Structure 1
Amino acid sequence: MMKNLCVAHRGYSGKAPENTLAAVRMALALPFVRWMEIDVQLSKDGVPVVIHDFSLDRTTNGHGKVKHMDWEHIRRLDAGSWKGRAFRGEKVPSLDEVLTLASGKLRLNIELKTTGDMYPGLERAVMDLISAKGMQGEVVLTSFDAAVLQRIKELDPRFRTGLIYDSRQGDPAQKVHELNCSFLSISSARLNPKLAGLLAERGIQIMAWTVNKAKEMRRLADMHSDIMICTNRPDVWGDTFLKI
């Protein structure tokens, strides 16, 4: 079996509505899914919620910005019908709910969805939840925003951090080093054998996103066995790497 680990992107989002408990459960049902990537923001009243967009409009029947809504309002929304009738009534989960489901079963790449001062206190709220459940060793906290990663290390340097990198310019290996990160989440199109080898030599865990086709999965596997493959379609990963 190939070593390239399977990461379920926003849960099993190819089949279930992304970032919902249904997507989490479907990912957990596949024994080869070792990691899951989710996105976290704060409600108006400071509850960490699992949702990707800054707006509620695309993935729920609600409207407006996540940061303007209290948790009680968000949790009543339908976050499943857009994906299909079978998921009608699926809710936006809290981070607490997802952590409870995942604890001891798989590792989590938790992206802190913020920019600038959009969510003061997001880092501490997320870290407090993780610490309360004793899950520090089961997560990596990732962000595009260097200031977020720096704040995490200031609050508790024991937490693993990861840079999300999408630029065609610059040196991601150098940036990861500067930020004291041990994880790089990078667009699959940005990866090449030289960069993958350099990162692996430095002990940086590499996750490539978002890869849904078998051909691209094989390309990454041929490039380096340490590249984690983040996909909406864990079933395609299974068909590609678990064949005898």
Structure 2
Amino acid sequence: MTTPAVIAHRGFAGVAPENTVAAALAAAEFDETAMLEIDVQPASCGTPVVIHDERLDGTRDGRPLTDASGFVWETDLETLQTTRVLGTDATIPTLAEFLEAIPETLGVNVELKNPGTTELRFAESLAPDERDDRRGIWEPFVERVVEECRAFDGEILYSSFCEGALAAVREAGPTYPAATLVWDDPEAGLEIARRYDCEAIHPPRNAIAGTALATTPYYGLPEAEPEIDIVAEAHAEGRTVNVWTVTNWQQFAQLAEAGVDGIIADYPGLGTVSQTS
């Protein structure tokens, strides 16, 4: 059994303020960290910033996500750059600031979260007559993201739950690898990955056949043995399988045994523990 690559979810969000430079630098201190996973959206001026929630007034375990409120894409850049994350001194970085701060020995999985709209068409396989329209909605933002990433000499992997974002990536940055993020329909995820010749696919941890995780509650996703073996099918097509999101060593061990290539994790050290247990 090979050990999957460890991808630090929002910079190991279980131990650091998510999607911040501080979290990224802390994650870089662990030898196991192969890649950082981050989320990007636009400020009101269009500048890509690193944050997950579409609203600034979300919560994490009852704690305010930030000390501001409103939609990210309706907030000016100066406000975002002084907005503190999870009660710490860490603030929301621009994508350019984030990439400039981290070592280029680390890869970065840039999840294209939102181009600035409440109508995302999240995790949908689009009909042919809808694809150009959705690509057009994403293109201005994706072009800005790709432009910022060109200054980073490390590995970049783009991913999204939104087909329009992947279509825009193939136009704006065709030389970069891309991954489709899967929600509740693995077959649709594979279909989208094939449509855009994605190098990777990112299913949730309970979409992996033959594991106890497949029948364990997770984000309200189906609690049944998957109808398809997404790992086998993706590997047969030459695609990498990176699974989200792992929070303990038991989950890590199950997914490693199932043969996934990468594990997006909230905590460091889970692979090390699973190998010694």
Q: Provide TM-score, normalisation by structure 1.
A: 0.89
| 1:146 and 1:179 in contact (8 A); partners too | no
Query: Which range moved further: 191-200 or 16-25?
Result: 191-200
Equivalent position of 2:71 in the other structure: 65
CA distance in 2, matches of 1:232, 1:217: 11
Gaps of 5+ in 2: 59-64, 115-119, 122-133, 211-228
1:123 aligns with 2:158: no
1:154 aligns with 2:160: no
Equivalent position of 1:85 in the other structure: none
Spell out, residue by residue over 1:188-207, the C-alpha distance to the aligned partner (whole angstroms, 9 max, x if none). Answer: 10122632122112221111
CA distance in 1, matches of 2:108, 2:186: 28
Aligned-pair identity (%): 25
1:184 aligns with 2:201: yes
CA distance in 1, matches of 2:85, 2:182: 28
Q: Secondary structure at the match of 1:230?
A: strand
**Structure 1 residues 201, 32: CA separation in 2 closer, same or farther (over 3 Å shift)?**
same
Task: State the superposition RMSD in angstroms.
Answer: 2.0
CA distance in 2, matches of 1:195, 1:21: 33
CA distance in 2, matches of 1:89, 1:23: 12
Gaps of 5+ in 1: 82-87
How far does residue 211 in structure 1 lie from its aligned partner after superposition? 0.9
Spell out, residue by residue over 1:94-131, the C-alpha distance to the aligned partner (whole angstroms, 9 max, x if none). Answer: 11122123342211111011226776621001100111
**Structure 1 residues 30, 7: CA separation in 2 closer, same or farther (over 3 Å shift)?**
same
2:235 to 190, 195, 200: 200
Equivalent position of 1:141 in the other structure: 158
**Structure 1 residues 77, 143: CA separation in 2 closer, same or farther (over 3 Å shift)?**
same
Q: Kindly provide the amino acid, as one letter, of the partner of residue 207 in structure 1.
A: N
Query: Which range moved further: 178-187 or 166-175?
Result: 166-175
How far does residue 78 in structure 1 lie from its aligned partner after superposition? 1.3
Equivalent position of 1:22 in the other structure: 22
CA distance in 1, matches of 2:159, 2:96: 18
Equivalent position of 2:93 in the other structure: 93
Spell out, residue by residue over 1:128-152, the C-alpha distance to the aligned partner (whole angstroms, 9 max, x if none). Answer: 01113344xx111111111111111
| 2:207 and 2:230 in contact (8 A); partners too | no
Spell out, residue by residue over 1:1-53, the C-alpha distance to the aligned partner (whole angstroms, 9 max, x if none). Answer: 84211111000211111111121111000011101110000000111100000
Equivalent position of 1:239 in the other structure: 273
| 1:10 and 1:37 in contact (8 A); partners too | yes
| 2:85 and 2:91 in contact (8 A); partners too | yes
| 1:211 and 1:232 in contact (8 A); partners too | yes
Spell out, residue by residue over 1:143-201, the C-alpha distance to the aligned partner (whole angstroms, 9 max, x if none). Answer: 11111111111223112111011114634323211122111111010122632122112
1:167 aligns with 2:164: no
**Structure 1 segment 211-226 matched on structure 2, within 5 A:** 211-224=246-259, 226=260
Equivalent position of 1:210 in the other structure: 245
CA distance in 1, matches of 2:269, 2:32: 10
Equivalent position of 1:10 in the other structure: 10
Tell me how many residue pairs correspond in the alignment: 234
| 2:2 and 2:256 in contact (8 A); partners too | yes
CA distance in 2, matches of 1:63, 1:195: 39
| 1:41 and 1:119 in contact (8 A); partners too | no
Equivalent position of 1:229 in the other structure: 263
**Structure 1 segment 29-68 matched on structure 2, within 5 A:** 29-58=29-58, 59-68=65-74
Equivalent position of 1:84 in the other structure: none
